[in-house]
Amino acid sequence: MSEKDCTFAKSMKNEDMMDCSRVLMAGPCSAETEEQVLSCARSLAAFGDALPANTRLLFRAGLWKPRTSPHSFEGVGEAGLAWLRKVEIETGLAAATEVATPAHLRLCLDSGLRHLWIGARTTANPIMVQQIADTLHNEYADLSGSLTLFVKNPVNPELALWIGAIERLQKAGVEHITAVHRGFSAFHTGECRNTPLWSIALELRRRMPGLPLLCDISHIAGKRALLTTIAQTALNLGFEGLMVEVHPSPAQALSDAAQQLTPDAFACLLHNLRMPAHRACPSDDRLAELRQRIDEIDDALWQLVVDRQQVSQDIGRYKQEHNLPVFQEARYRQLLDRRMAWAARNGLSEETVQRIMEALHEASIGVQLR
């Protein structure tokens, strides 16, 4: 389907947003001019049928941009607050921006904005997150129920730091918090600008059940060509929504030009995505049957792990009696090499097999040391 075929239906306002289970936050990386902000917001507000069912659309635009280089465009700052409020009043879309200091927070809240995000560099800085939390608690306690904060993962892959930032804000009384996975920095990134580590996001979900989770596909991808695949992966994993950078003319964007989509291309992206229901239906017989099989396989698998550990214990005793070291590097390498060759022959991911093998070996060493 071409971009042109993805036409927008008539204007749609998001009056009835409370029932919406999916969230899309879209808009430019940076607010650049009033005209750019409003034109982008008007195009998005006119999405209508291009918006999936049960979806709440929010507008985003950064005012204070945490740029790597001081030579880059660092945002229009305070001047853009009035543009974002104009978006809210004119289009009915809630507008969100990034706050990186208590001063940003005060300016945003005093101007009437109620949707804010904490960026990846700020999440990595507990002192700054605490200052923001203290400002909320000490000066804006009356807004604790009407404010929504989006907390991006820190730039480094440390789940505890992400959870810590969320907890600081929860302790300050913020009732509505959503986590945002935007990938992690690395010296050598692969295809993506910031590597997505889905296992960290899913572990956050396990540790903080009920916390909505969005995927910032633009800052993960860094380039338009990767957006659809990343978005589909996130939705398949049960993310509640997406953050997507959308600009009226991406080629002219003052920041992140390579990853932003035109509003038309964004509509196309949405059209091409499969939107899974949030929860699998437990009364589905076929699914129940398959899950039962998984449970049976797990039972057998774990019995084998118990058997393996018992043999490891015997090996440990033998090594002790014969004064041998517990860890024998050559044997470990042999185990790994054999299993890797097996993985390749059986079409299993070598990375997965290596991780499982490492965990089994660590458990075996543990039992032998005891």
- Which residues in this chain contact ligand PEP in the complex, by CB under 6 A? 29, 62, 66, 98, 119-120, 152, 182, 216, 219
Decide whether 70 or 209 has the Cβ nearer to ligand PEP.
Answer: 70
Part of the chain binding Mn ion (CB under 5 A), chosen from 207-215, 255-263, 311-319, 330-338: 255-263
The entry of Mn ion, ligand PEP, none near residue 193 (CB within 5 to 8 angstroms by kind) is: none
Tell me if residue 295 falls in helix, strand or coil. Answer: helix
Decide whether 120 or 169 has the Cβ nearer to ligand PEP.
Answer: 120
Part of the chain binding Mn ion (CB under 5 A), chosen from 44-52, 110-118, 253-261, 329-337: 253-261
Residue 205 beta carbon to ligand PEP: minimum distance, rounded to whole angstroms: 19
The entry of Mn ion, ligand PEP, none near residue 44 (CB within 5 to 8 angstroms by kind) is: none
Decide whether 219 or 247 has the Cβ nearer to ligand PEP.
Answer: 219
What token pair was written down for 30? 């940076």
The entry of ligand PEP, Mn ion, none near residue 32 (CB within 5 to 8 angstroms by kind) is: none
Strand 22-27 relative to strand 55-60: parallel, antiparallel, unpaired?
Answer: parallel
Residue 245 beta carbon to Mn ion: minimum distance, rounded to whole angstroms: 6
Burial 347-365 (b: 16+ CB within 10 A, else e): eeeeeebeeebeebbeebe
Residue 219 beta carbon to Mn ion: minimum distance, rounded to whole angstroms: 6
From the DSSP assignment, how many helices (H) and strands (E) are in the chain? Answer: 13, 8
**Which conformational region is residue 148 in: left (phi greater than 0), alpha (psi within -120 to 50 degrees), or beta?**
beta
The CB-nearest residue to ligand PEP is 119
Decide whether 45 or 221 has the Cβ nearer to ligand PEP.
Answer: 221
Burial status of residue 300 (CB atoms within 10 A of its CB: 0-12, 13-18, 19 or more)? exposed
Q: What's the CA gap between 44 and 38, in Å, rounded?
A: 10
Q: Which of 25, 26, 29, 100 binds Mn ion (CB under 5 A)?
A: 29
Decide whether 29 or 41 has the Cβ nearer to Mn ion.
Answer: 29
Residue 235 beta carbon to ligand PEP: minimum distance, rounded to whole angstroms: 19
Question: Does 256 contact Mn ion by CB under 5 A?
Answer: yes
222 with 193: CB under 8 angstroms? yes
Which runs of E-coded beta strand occur in the chain?
A: 22-27, 55-60, 94-98, 115-118, 148-152, 176-181, 213-216, 241-245
Residue 183 beta carbon to ligand PEP: minimum distance, rounded to whole angstroms: 8
Would you give the DSSP letter of residue 153? P
Question: In terms of Cα–Cα distance, which of 117, 136, 139, 208 is closest to 167?
Answer: 208
Question: Does 246 contact Mn ion by CB under 5 A?
Answer: no
Decide whether 75 or 316 has the Cβ nearer to Mn ion.
Answer: 75
Residue 81 beta carbon to Mn ion: minimum distance, rounded to whole angstroms: 19
3 with 262: CB under 8 angstroms? yes
Interface characters, 53-72, with Mn ion (x: CB under 5 A): --------------------
Q: What's the CA gap between 241 and 294, in Å, rounded?
A: 29
Q: List interacting residues with Mn ion (CB under 5 A).
A: 29, 256
